[in-house]
Amino acid sequence: MHHRNEHETYNYVSGMSRRDSLKWLGLLAAGSAVGLTAGCTKALEIGAASSTEGHWPDLDIKPITAKGYGQDPNLVIPPQSPWPLTLTADEITLVALLSDYIVPREGTIPSASELHVPAVINEWVSAPYEGQQRDRIKILNSLAWINDESKLRFKKPFTALSEPQHRAILDDIAYFNEQTPAQFQRIGKAFLRFKELVLAAFFCTPEGCKDIGYLGNVPIAGDYPGPSDEAKAHLDQVLVDLGLSEYAYTD
């Protein structure tokens, strides 16, 4: 995760090309429950929060009107710029900062922002497809809520806060469950989708695959032994740490 001193302004700039981010978009779409034409994940199917407590942004989010790939997309060698990216510099910086709390650097494994996950999120919310546009609404509202909450609590935007102040806000929204206070239920559900996308993008990278011990297409002699107990325990702990224990390994 990026570390800065109290007086430093953090501005994230991705070093990933559009061609590469579009390739990762294709991998993310293929590996998630949201395709490039329609569909939504379990988190989206939950629907709007029943609670009306707390604040919520009043954003005028315009629909994406750019054309997509068409009926037969080339996700191996995609066109250079099929649609414009839509996150502002402040929004992509906030995405980067939040992503590194979700997937911080650990030993030799880089953080989410070091692996250009924010660029993939930008590509995702800018894509002109039904599923991605639903995610766009959730994520833009989440980013605005986080900045509004930051200003309410600490009189500054989130990127200007200290790490303890960051964690004070994130601890209230990042572990959505039945015990989440009413005022954080709506943002908790929306932020859960953001976490899912960050994790999915991270684990699409070779470094992310290495982190969970995925070797790719390596032949195995004899019957498949399944993941080791150590690997399952590691994955379970990672999911618990991320507030996603419902997805823990089960036989």
Residues 161-182 pLDDT 10s: 999 999 999 999 998 888 889 9
Give the helix, strand, coil percentages of the chain, each rounded to 5. 50, 0, 50
What pLDDT does residue 209 have? 53
Residue whose C-alpha is closest to residue 26's, from 91, 89, 79:
79
Q: Model pTM?
A: 0.71
Tell me which range, 3-12, 20-29, 126-135, is most confidently predicted by mean pLDDT: 126-135
Banded pLDDT at 248 (limits 50, 70, 90): low
Q: What is the pLDDT of residue 187?
A: 95
- 139-166 pLDDT, tens digit per residue, is 999 999 999 999 999 999 999 999 999 9
pLDDT digits (tens, 9 = 90+) for 22-56: 877 877 877 654 444 333 334 334 444 445 688 99
What gap in Å lies between CA 160 and CA 101, rounded to an integer?
15
Torsion angle of C-alpha atoms 102, 106, 112, 115, degrees rounded to 10: -170
